[in-house]
Structures are given as structure tokens and as C-alpha cells.
Structure 1
Amino acid sequence: MPQEKPDLRSLREPVRFKRALTLLLMTLILPGSAQIVAGSRTAGRWAWRVVAGLIAIIVFFVVLGLIWRSGTINILARPSTLRLVQILLIVLALGWAALFVDAYRISQPLTLERNHRLITSILDGALIFVVVGALIYASVIVNTQRDFVASVFGSGKSSKADKGRYNVLLLGGDSGADRVGTRPDSMTIASIDANTGRTVLIGVPRNLSKVPFPEGTAMAKQFPQGFQWKGCTPNCWLNGVFTWATDHKQLFPGDPHPGVTATSQAIQATTGLKLNYYALIDLTGFRDLINAVGGITLDISVRVPIGGESTPIKGYIEPGKNVHLDGYHALWFARSRADSSDYARMARQKCVISAMLNQLSPQVVLTKFQGIASASKEVVQTNIPAGELGTFTDLALDAKKLPVSSFSAVPPLIKGSDPDFALIRTKVAEAIAKSESLDNDGSGGDGKTSTTPRSTAGRSSSAPSTSTTKKPSKKPTSSTTTPPANGVDDVASICKA
């Protein structure tokens, strides 16, 4: 076979160079296509089968998510599913890298001029680095999610919605070397409509006295007249139940968290609500969680001290609109009691919870997931099973569209030293009924007509699309320092500057 003439070779060089670049770009856009074009059809067809299979799986879950969002999230959030996805991503990265190497081989780089060969080699290496790096990073995120779910969420029993609502007890407290576990100083029930996601936050003060317990429980047998005994003050407050139960764990055989159990029972009897789950939040670790999401933005109506009581005041969080708080300042905003009261602190905590709910967007979760998951493992202890993660993620997405209301069992309506528990239960029921009426009357709670009727049968495939935009108050509000006379407040209004 005659050798090519030098002038003919120089004319074909640009063609060979373009062919080499095209093969690499084809591998990037449609893995296996370069092999099909170059004649290596067996490898190309196997690559196409894999790509087609992956596309089919993605389309299936997208369609399933549109039909059954919570169930889809539950499936995808399982540790076993996440492990499978992690392995799949690693295998896909290795396979794609092999196709890039093969496409480079097919382009016959040794026949190219030196500069063209260098460009082709650099491009091939860059594409391998970008594609494989992205897939490996995705596998790391998936592994972090799997570890997070396995560490925070258990495999306990699912609890069905009671009267169409999930009631989740949020306990917040400080842990330290001088304490056994975490003593809750903040207690709030998030009562969530199982169909619409509309949420009522029910604040229960830590200094409620003589709290009752459900009949038949170990605590009810020990304290038939409520949580009190001679000389117990101030330890006979509600937040003392946790410590007492922890110190008498023999009354709760086989229960790894007697303090949480006893506190949940007391709050259940106090409010009349069946509690489905709890989440115990370490307020010190909460600072890291706020930092992980990039901080929160709040309207602040009053000056809040940093420090105080047993420690010197180190500064103040000044009032204003759209004040951005990092973890350190958000923690002090939520926990400070200097120059105010427990009831003012409860109101500020509702503002923080509401801000987290409204500002923690899917984009923030995706871009900062590593930090969020790492911080959450240190912050949260919960008995919500992993199998219910999709249900509550679904509810949280719906809740973001709707205003949050609340009730606090605080003075002057409720006296902490001598609380009227029947009145508390009545007011809790009224607050929930008022929230549910916003869906029953079709207004959606914001003056717009909702087309989705409320149902207590379970989750619907879609939620009412509503707006929470409200006109800002022209006057500063003092509701974060003065509790409302009837205990009922709107979180959006108490968090306005």
C-alpha cells in the first residue's frame, strides 16, 4: 500500500483533529456514541443500554413523584436505596471514564500533530476530571444523606395522624458537662394538617406547675395530683419532669429515653393532643446548623441582650428589618431571657422556627447539604422513623406556602403557678379549629380562594398553592415581649419589626 504524500497528510490533519474532538464531545453528550460511529458497536450498544435504563428509571421516579410525592421521597430516602444509588454513581463514573479513554484511543492521537495531540489529551483529561469528579462528588453527597438518615432517623413504628393531624413535639435545651443528657428549656408542638401541611405552633412554658400525666402511666401513679411534691419548687415545673424521669429510669424499663417519654406524656395530658413524634434539639449545636444554612433573616422589634442572668451581657442584637443573624446571634435571639421573660423567649423561638421553615429552600439544602447533614447529626435526636421522612418532607414543602399560626399557654390567660389545664386544652382545640377553618372555607388563609378542600383521610397528591405575602405593619409590635391576652397569635405578625 503506497505511503501518503506529505502534502496530502497535511490536508487531512485538520480533519483528523476535528474528528478527535468530535469523538470526545460525543462521549460527553451521549456516552457510547463515539464507539458506534467508530465501528466498536458492541461497547457502544452496551453504553446506550445503560444510558437508556438510567433515563427510564429517572423518568419513572419523576412521574411517580408527580403522582405520589411523599411515597417517592420515602423510597429514595431509604438507606438501602441511597447505598444502591451511591454504588451506581461510582460504577457510572468508572464506566464513563473508560469510554473517554476509549474515545481518545479511537481518535488515534499519535497520528496528530504535536499541538493537536496536546490539545486533545488535555481536553480528554479535563472531561474525565469534570465528569468523574461530579459523579464521585454526587456519590459523596448521597453517602452523607444515607449516613444522616441512618444516624438521626430510627426504624421505629410509624404513628398515624390523629384526627387528620400530625403532632410533633419540638424540645430544645442545652447539653453540657454538668448535665446528664439535654434538659429541655423550650417546648413547642408543631401540629400539622396531614393533608394541607398548614401548621399551628403550640408553645408550652417550661415553668408550668402541677402538670398532669395520662392515666395508667408510671408518672401518673407517682404523681396522681400532678407533678408536685413538698419542697419541690422550682423543680416541680414542667421542665423538671425530664430530669426526674431520667433519675428514676427504673420506672421506664427498656426505654432508652425516659426523660423524653415522661415530658411527652405531660405535654400530651396538658394540651389534650396525641403526640405522634418528638425531636430533641440541642440549642448549642443549633448554632452550627444555622451557620450551615448561611444564617437566617428576621425582623426584630426589640433589643435582645447577648448573655445576662448568670453571665455578663456581652452585647445586644439590635432591632430592625431584615436583620441577618449567624448561628451565634440566632441562638442568643432564641434563648436570651435577660431583660425579658420566658414568654418573650417563646415568641422569639417561634420566629426562628418560622424563619427556618420559610428560608430553608431546596436550593439551600442542595448546595449546603454536607454542612447541614453534619450539623444535624449533632443537633437532632428524634423518633420519627426513616420511612416517614418523605411524608414530613412533603408536608414541609406544603407548609412553606401557608402562614403559620400559634397558641401559647402564657399569662395573663394561663398562670404558670396555678394553670387551668382544662382552659389550655380548650384554647389549643380552638387554635387548631381556627387554622383548619382556613382550608374548610376555601380562603387558603390569605384572602385567596383555595381549590383544595381539607380532608383528614391522608395526604393528597397536591397542595393548595397560596401566597403568604402580607402588608407589613406600619407600627413596631411589642408582641415579642408581651403575650397576647388570649394566648393566640399569628407568627407572621409577632415576627414583624
Structure 2
Amino acid sequence: MPQEKPDLRNLREPVRFKRALTLLLMTLVLPGSAQIVAGSKKAGRWAWRVVAGLIAIVVFLVILGLIWRSGTINILARPGTLRLVQILLIVLALGWAALFVDAYRISQPLTLERNHRLITSILDGALIFVVVGALVYASVIVNTQRDFVASVFGNTKSSKADKGRYNVLLMGGDSGADRVGTRPDSMTVASVDANTGRTVLIGLPRNLAKVPFPAGTPLAKQFPNGFQWKNCGIECLLNGVYTYAANHKDLFPGNPNPGETATSQAIEAITGLKINYYVLIDLTGFRDLINAVGGITLDIGKRVPIGGETSPIKGYIEPGKNVHLDGYHALWFARSRAESSDYDRMARQKCVMSAMLNQLSPQTVLTKFQGIASASKEVVKTSIPAGELGTFMDLALDAKKLPVSSFSAVPPLIRTADPDFAVIRAKVAEAIAKSESLDNDGPGGDGKTSTTTPRSTSGTSSSKPSTTHTTKKPSKKPTSSTSTPPANGVDDVASICKA
């Protein structure tokens, strides 16, 4: 027998008004509860089943995340999963709105006096607006994430860790209007321990000459004695490999990214490391990415010119501790060559990478996600597949807790015009071995083991800036900005980023 609709006319008007408000608030706190208590039990039970199912899914994902964090992120980051979540949020918004409308109907607003009926109507509309608006906004965020993953991350096959490490080539390319094509002016290999996340940054100068290629690769056949030929000038340097390959696509049939492939192969031969993936960052959009995350804070040891070389110096980024840089100044700090060498520039770029790693918190990503995703789509190109996103996010969270070490193949250790690649490979192996030894030290060492809690590093950057950047007109005798590399080429990034 269907349950009869209760007649509220025998109740006093103030009681009916309180009952109407209560039904709306019950729908806000526990969708379907108003229908359960007011007689529409079938609709209420369906709503409760949906709520129970959603809670069960959330609890399952939380438990799975605690047990298998990277796998959970991989599942949730897939474009198909994100599309499903987006549809679910929209359906949930429509269903919740329907429950509010039904709760308003059940309260029999026509039995209320005019003022109380107006208050009830306004509250119902406001609750629908807030709840539906929040869920629709969440669906927009999810759609942004899906679009970001689909646009930035590749569909290539996953590459397994080599000797327990992921080696990712980070390239900073400048494809501005004054340049023909993209030429990576910054090349750094991030070698990451697949278990601990401990990272070694390996810097390679753009002007490295006579670079070799692995046997059997297209450019190894073209240049059996290394990347060189008569009167080639700057075209024969490491950063010219990208352009050469891009201009000779016939050597890479079926490969849509010959420049990235050839550069990765050259760096494999130089370092002796297997390059799993590459990340190409367009420096012309780097400013927007830094601005999207709210800037970075780092220590600056020497003043850095803004402009110079082919343009006049417009000012300086002055030295100091905890200097906060927006995108414009962070870009000049990373790319400026005036009054310094390429090797100073490489050191500054490591400081920027370390600052972004240490300061890009999950809270920042969540609160500024749309800006970050929008900027990243224009800035970042990578071969890391979407299915590995969780793996690298997991490693990044671990890496934030540990010091980052570094090796740079720079003079006087290396003569860039005639480099000894055997020395480079030996120093790379030494830097990685030194980093791995920290994890093997156990509780008494400087690292962490699989049974101990990762120790936080006392970095040189702060998440709360105490000073801001300043720019000044150049003086007649600007201070020279040069750095002396460590004797063995191996250092701690924190040590080179101190003011």
C-alpha cells in the first residue's frame, strides 16, 4: 500500500516552518534523509544507496592510496577515469538538486505564511546554488586535469627503471620569435632512485663538442667519430643535435620527435645512463608557470643581470636570502648569461629546479591547479606516459624530503671543446654511487632505508619569503658573477644555492 501524504494543516504554522527548514538542512547534511522521514522512502533509500556507494569508493581509494600510492594516482590520473568522475559529478549535482526540490515540495510551502514561505524558498534556492555550483566547479577542475594529462603526457610505452633508477632528461628550449626552431639551451638529467626518490641532477653544458651517439642509432652512422664536421661552428655542439635531427627527419622514419630522440641518445652516450623519458620546457612560457605557482623563493649569492648580450641590461636581481622571485625575474635568474658563464647559468638553473621541487606543495597544486595546468600545457612537452604520472608524483613527494646532489660536466674538470667522455661517465657513476650510499647508511647515516621514515632536508629555500626581489639600474662597474666548480665536479645542490 502506498503511504499517504501527511497533512500538515493541523500543525501550527511555526512548527510547519521549522519542519520545512529542517527538511532542507537534512538534505544538505545527508541527501535522502528528508524523504525517509517525510514519507517518500523509496526515493530516500535510493539516495542513501548512492551516498553509501560513494563513501565506500572513497574509503577504498583512501586505503588503496595508503597501501599503493603510486598505483592509486595512476588510476585516478587516467583520462578515462577523469572523464567518468566528471560525468559522475554532474549527475550527482543534478540528483542532489532534485532532492532539494523534492524536500521543498514535501514541506508543503503553500501551507506557510508569506514571509516563512519566502525564507524557505530563498534557503532552498541558495542551497541548490551552493551544492550544485560546488559540484559543477569540481567537474570543471576534473575536466581541466583530464585535458592537461591528455595534452602534456604522451601515449608512449612505459620505460622500466634501469639499475633501480629513472633517468629523465630535462631540456629548456627557447623557441622565441628571434630564433629559428627550438634549440635546447639547458640540459640536465634527473637521475631518480626508483625506491627512495633521492635525486642526482647531472648538468651538461650546451657547448659540449664532439658528442658521441650509441652504436646502431641513426646519428651514430652519420657521425661515427662524434658530432662534428668541417667548419660547422656552433652547429656541432650538444644543443645543435636537436636542430640537426629536426631538420633531417628522414633519418628517423615514423618518429614524430626526432630532436628529442637524438638528444636523448647523445646524452645516453655521454653519461652512460639509459634515458627513460624526456621533458622539454619552453622557456618563453616558463614565466607563466612560475607565476601560476605563486613564484619561488631562494637564496641569491651574486647579482644577476636582467638583459644583456644582444639587449641592454635593464637592471639586476640583487643578492640576498629568501628572495622571492615572480615569473619574470625567475626566468632571467635562470637564463641570464651577461657578466657570467654558461656554468654559472647551469648552477642557477639547478637552484630553480630545486626550489620548485621543494616549494610546490600539494596545497599549492590544489588551490592553483587551473593556472598551473593552463600554463603547463603551453610550456611542457614530455614523453612520460599518463599511466606513469602516479609513479613520478610519488617519487616527487619522496624527493622533497631528501637533499638533491649534483654533478656538472664543466671546466676545469672537462674541456668542452675536446671532452673526455670516459671521465664524464666515471663522474656520473661516482655521483650516483655517492647518492645511493646515503640510503645504504641506514639510521646512522644521512639517508633513509625502507624501514625508516624519510628525513627532511634543511634546504636553502623557504616557503615563506621574508624579502622581495629588487631591480636596480646597472652601475658602471657591476660585480662579476662567476663560480668555481668543486674539484671533483660533485656537489650538493643546497651548497651551490646558498647566498
TM-score, normalised on structure 1?
Answer: 0.92
State the Cα distance separating 1:105 from its structure 2 match: 1.0
The 2-side partners of 1:255 and 1:401 are apart by 38
Aligned CA distance change for structure 1 residues 403 and 444 (closer, same or farther; 3 Å): farther
- Compared CA separation, residues 392 and 161, structure 1 to 2 (3 A): same
CA distance in 2, matches of 1:193, 1:17: 64
Tell me what 1:59 maps to: 59
Alignment partners' CA distance in 2, 1:422 and 1:285: 36
Q: CA deviation at 1:485?
A: 2.2
Specify the alignment match of 2:49 in structure 1: 49
Deviation at 1:116, TM superposition (A): 1.6
CA distance in 1, matches of 2:454, 2:270: 34
**Range with bigger deviation, 247-256 or 266-275:** 247-256
Structure 2: how far apart are the matches of 1:116 and 1:423?
84
SS of equivalent to 1:72: helix
CA deviation vs aligned residue, 1:252-306 (integer Å, no higher than 9, x gap): 1111111111111111100000000000100111111001111111111110000
Q: CA RMSD in A?
A: 1.8
Correspondence list, 1:83-482, <5 A: 83-443=83-443, 446=446, 450-452=448-450, 464-469=453-458, 481-482=483-484
Matches within 5 A, 1:66-85: 66-85=66-85
* Alignment counterpart, residue 489 of structure 2, candidates 472, 487, 490: 487
Residue matched to 1:457: none
Deviations 1:69-106 (A, max 9, x none): 11111110010000000000000000000101111111
Q: Cα–Cα, structure 1 residues 24 and 445, in superposed 2: closer, same or farther, change >3 Å?
A: farther
Q: Does the CA contact (< 8 Å) of 1:357 and 1:400 recur in 2?
A: yes
SS in 1 for 2:233: coil
Closer/same/farther in 2, CA of residues 47 and 256 from structure 1, 3 Å limit: same
- Percent identity over the alignment? 86
Partner letter of residue 338 of structure 2?
A
Cα pair distance change 1:47/1:57, threshold 3 Å: same
Partner of 1:4: none
Question: CA–CA distance in 2 between the matches of 1:451 and 1:422?
Answer: 31
Q: CA deviation at 1:493?
A: 1.3
Give the TM-score taking structure 2 as reference length.
0.92
3-state SS, counterpart of residue 110 of structure 1: helix
Q: What is the CA distance between 1:247 and its match in structure 2?
A: 1.4
Q: What CA deviation, in whole Å up to 9, does each residue of 1:223-255 have, x standing for no partner?
A: 111111111122211111111111111111111
- 2:146 alignment partner AA: R
Query: Distance in 1 between the 2:108 and 2:11 partners?
Result: 17
Q: Secondary structure at the match of 1:234?
A: helix
Flag structure 1 segments of 5+ consecutive residues without an equivalent. Answer: 1-7, 454-462, 473-477
SS of structure 1 residue aligned to 2:166: strand
Q: In 1, Cα distance between the equivalents of 2:351 and 2:12?
A: 70
Amino acid at match of 1:492: A
Residue 180 of structure 1: how far off its partner (Å):
4.8
Contact conserved, 1:480 with 1:494, CA < 8 A, in 2?
Answer: no
- Partner SS for 2:12: helix
Q: Please state whether the residue corresponding to 2:227 is helix, strand or coil.
A: coil
Call closer, same or farther: CA 1:444–1:56 in 2, change over 3 Å: farther
Give the Cα separation in 1 of the matches to 2:388 and 2:482: 34
> How far did residue 10 of structure 1 move?
11
- After TM superposition, give the deviation of residue 450 of structure 1 in Å: 3.3
Is the contact made by 1:444 and 1:450 (CA closer than 8 Å) also made in structure 2?
no
Asked whether the equivalents of residues 155 and 386 of structure 2 are also in contact (C-alpha less than 8 Å), the reply is yes
CA distance in 2, matches of 1:375, 1:274: 29
| Cα distance between partner residues in 2 of 1:67 and 1:149 | 24
1:448-474 CA-to-partner distances (Å, cap 9, x unmatched) read: x73426xxxxxxxxx8421112699xx
Deviations 1:168-218 (A, max 9, x none): 000001112354542100000000000000000000000111111101111
Gap change, CA 1:445 and 1:287, over 3 Å in 2: farther
Partner of 2:471: none
Query: In structure 2, the residue corresponding to 1:347 is in which secondary structure?
Result: helix
| Separation of aligned partners in 2, 1:202 and 1:471 | 20
State how far apart, in whole Å, the 2-side matches of 1:495 and 1:118 are: 63
Query: Match for residue 475 of structure 2?
Result: none
Q: Which amino acid aligns with 2:190?
A: A
CA gap 1:112/1:441 in 2 versus in 1, 3 angstroms: same
Amino acid in structure 2 at the alignment position of 1:318: E
1:153–1:386 CA contact under 8 A, matched in 2 = yes
Task: String of CA shifts for 1:327-385, please: whole Å, max 9, x gaps.
Answer: 11100000000000100000000010011101110010001110111110111111111
* Residue equivalent to 1:496: 498
Aligned to 1:3: none
- Decide whether aligned partners of structure 1 residues 27 and 337 sit closer, same or farther in structure 2, where only a CA change above 3 A counts: same
Aligned-partner residue type, residue 253 of structure 1: P
- Contact (CA 8 Å) 2:460, 2:497: kept in 1 or not? no
Tell me by how many angstroms 1:130 deviates: 0.8
8 A contact 2:439–2:449 mirrored in 1? no
Asked if the contact 1:174–1:183 (Cα under 8 Å) also holds between the matched residues in 2, the reply is yes
Conservation of the 8 A alpha-carbon contact between 2:406 and 2:493: yes
User: SS at 2:354's partner residue?
Assistant: helix
Specify whether residues 40 and 471 from structure 1 end up closer, same or farther in structure 2 by C-alpha distance, changes over 3 A only: closer
